[in-house]
Amino acid sequence: MSPDSHHPAAMSPVEQRVAALEALLTERGLVPEGFIEEVTRRYESEIGPMNGAKVVARAWADPQYKQRLLAGGTAAIAELGFSGPEGDHTVVVENTPAVHNVVVCTLCSCYPWPTLGLPPAWYKDPPYRARMVREPRTVLAEMGCRLPGDVEIRVWDSSAEVRYLVLPQRPSRTEGMTEAQLAGLVTRDSMIGVARL
Amino acid sequence: MDGIHDLGGMQGLGPVVHSPAEPAFHHRWQAVARALMTVVAGAAGASGGEFRHSIERMDPGHYLTSGYYEHWLTAAATLAVEHGLVTHSELEARAGGRFPLSGPVLAPAVADAGPDVGEPRFGAGDRVRVRDWHPPGHTRCPRYVRGKAGVVVRVDGTHSVPDIEAHGTARRHEPTYSVRFDAADLWGDGQRGVSVHVDLWDSYLEGP
């Protein structure tokens, strides 16, 4: 009897499939004790857009850091303690009044985990991946990011080893803010490039 | 392969269903599926290319109607069966129903990867054209740039070629480049003031 057969009716078909694979791999001794909980905890609490927000706030507050960040994203991000899978080759692209950057992965769902965490569902679903390289101005407007017609749009398709992080423009009237206050203004979407601040 | 995963530029898929924030996992089974993929990839010694290709080989209808973590589950189960960790009938017996797996690999195994390419052939500012070819196996060269001309904007160092590593234990390393394409050159109906940058391995490219 499988460990999950107590409540088969309560499980959806996909849950039953996951439970089946988990049980078989566990019986073969391939799933280390506590491994699933550890992976879950790491992605739920250690990585996420709060990390990227600290990178952006530092770049806004410290022009020399910003220079290092744009020249070599991976090393500058590691200065703040963020590194790991999907973060070994990070390139930071800067938004300006004339240029807007936006990131997509048309082939799968590549995303800079150490700074942004796991990607949201819409980033992984077909419409965003299909449309962002073909009609970015329209998709951005639909997502609430309406850009003046003379703003150049640069789309970055993460098709190889580089993962991209957008450095949004610093909002006006934030001169007196501390770095922590600045980080509080930075959203996940602004670092993917589907929103401006 | 010209598979369903290669979505860039496809039309008719509907609006982006955006949410401003969401949890890492909506359901516990998603976290489990994610962790099991790591378990299987480790036990099978699967490369990143082999893992991605196991998703790309999903039935197209299943791919489009299931979410990201169901892709990972299907890929993990497929690799587990292909590498002899479990059998398909065991999975279906234990799940109490159908357990769809990805389709077979269509490309032959790669025995000889060929020599590494150390020095980049191109530099920033060079015009290049993407090879117009349709390999049956894994590739990270999206269909929408094949045959198109662009300009190198960045050289990114040397990396294992996914097309090779997905199909055996042989490896070849090549420089990768970020190549800028004008949207008008890609789509004809491209929107004004738009460029699309795609990161491509050396062997995907030829001179202008």
pLDDT (mean) for A65-85: 96
Kindly tell me if the per-residue pLDDT of A2 is higher than 50.
Answer: no
A–B: how many Cβ contacts below 8 A?
A: 228
Instruction: Flag if A154 and B86 touch (Cβ within 8 Å).
Output: no
Kindly tell me if the per-residue pLDDT of B20 is higher than 90.
Answer: no
What is the pLDDT of chain B when averaged over all its residues? 96
Read off the tokens for A93. Answer: 């692209």
> Is residue B19 within 8 angstroms of chain A, CB to CB?
yes
- The question of whether A109 is a catalytic residue gets the answer yes
pLDDT (mean) for A186-195: 98
pLDDT of residue A91: 98
CB B172 within 8 A of CB B115: yes
pLDDT of residue B174: 98
**What pTM did the predictor assign?**
0.95
Confidence class of residue B11 from pLDDT cuts 50, 70 and 90?
A: very high
Q: In whole angstroms, what is the distance from residue B72 CA to residue B77 CA?
A: 8
Catalytic residue among A2, A5, A108, A159: A108
* DSSP type of residue B45: T
pLDDT of residue B59: 98
pLDDT of residue A9: 56
> Which residues between 104 and 133 in chain B have a beta carbon less than 8 angstroms from any beta carbon of chain A?
none
Instruction: Flag if A131 and B16 touch (Cβ within 8 Å).
Output: yes
pLDDT of residue A10: 81
Q: How many CA atoms lie within 13 A of B8 on its CB side?
A: 27
Which residues on chain B are in Cβ contact (under 8 Å) with A2?
A: 94
> Which residues between 153 and 172 in chain A have a beta carbon less than 8 angstroms from any beta carbon of chain B?
153-162
Kindly tell me if the per-residue pLDDT of A182 is higher than 90.
Answer: yes
Q: How far is B129 from chain A (nearest CA, A)?
A: 16
* DSSP type of residue B203: G
Q: Domains in chain B, start-ordered, CATH in brackets? A: 28-95 (1.10.472.20), 127-206 (2.30.30.50)
Percent of chain A past pLDDT 90, that is, above it, reads 91
CB B57 within 8 A of CB B75: no
Where does residue A171 rank: exposed (0-12), middle (13-18), buried (19+ CB within 10 A)? middle
Confidence class of residue A1 from pLDDT cuts 50, 70 and 90?
A: very low
Q: In whole angstroms, what is the distance from residue B95 CA to residue B77 CA?
A: 12
Nearest by CB to residue B8, choosing from A40, A121, A133, is: A133
Kindly tell me if the per-residue pLDDT of A8 is higher than 70.
Answer: no
The pairs formed by B180-189 with CB atoms below 8 angstroms and a separation of 24 or more are: B180/B150, B180/B151, B180/B152, B180/B153, B181/B145, B181/B148, B181/B149, B181/B150, B182/B150, B183/A134, B185/B148, B185/B149, B185/B150, B186/A133, B186/A134, B186/B9, B186/B144, B186/B145, B186/B148, B187/A134, B187/B9
- The question of whether A110 is a catalytic residue gets the answer yes
Kindly tell me if the per-residue pLDDT of B29 is higher than 70.
Answer: yes
Amino acid at A30: L
Q: In whole angstroms, what is the distance from residue A182 CA to residue B207 CA?
A: 46
Nearest by CB to residue B7, choosing from A13, A130, A161, is: A130
Q: What is the pLDDT of residues A143-181, one digit of tens each?
A: 999 999 999 999 999 999 999 999 999 999 999 999 999
Kindly tell me if the per-residue pLDDT of B109 is higher than 60.
Answer: yes
Kindly tell me if the per-residue pLDDT of A6 is higher than 80.
Answer: no
Q: How far is A60 from chain B (nearest CA, A)?
A: 23
**B8 CB-near residues (< 8 Å, 6+ apart):** A106, A107, A129, A130, A133, A134, A157, B142, B143, B144
Kindly tell me if the per-residue pLDDT of A7 is higher than 60.
Answer: no
Reported as type and span, the H/E element at residue A90 is strand A90-94
What is the pLDDT of chain A when averaged over all its residues? 94
Q: What is the pLDDT of residues B153-198, one digit of tens each?
A: 999 999 999 999 999 999 999 999 999 999 999 999 777 899 999 9
| B159 beta partners | B174
Percent of chain A past pLDDT 70, that is, above it, reads 95
Q: What is the pLDDT of residues B121-152, one digit of tens each?
A: 999 999 999 999 999 999 999 999 999 999 99
- Strands A99-104 and A152-157, bridge-based pairing: parallel
Q: Domains in chain A, start-ordered, CATH in brackets? A: 10-45 (no CATH), 48-192 (3.90.330.10)
CB B159 within 8 A of CB B174: yes
* Cβ neighbours of B28 (radius 10 Å): 12
- The question of whether A105 is a catalytic residue gets the answer yes
Q: In whole angstroms, what is the distance from residue A165 CA to residue A113 CA?
A: 10
pLDDT of residue B202: 98
CB B31 within 8 A of CB A40: yes
Nearest by CB to residue A18, choosing from B13, B73, B193, is: B73
**Alpha-carbon distances, residue B51 vs A37, A47, B73, B80, B184 (angstroms):** 22, 23, 11, 11, 34
Q: In whole angstroms, what is the distance from residue B29 CA to residue B24 CA?
A: 12
Amino acid at B127: R
> Is residue B89 within 8 angstroms of chain A, CB to CB?
no
Instruction: Flag if A21 and B90 touch (Cβ within 8 Å).
Output: no
pLDDT of residue B163: 97
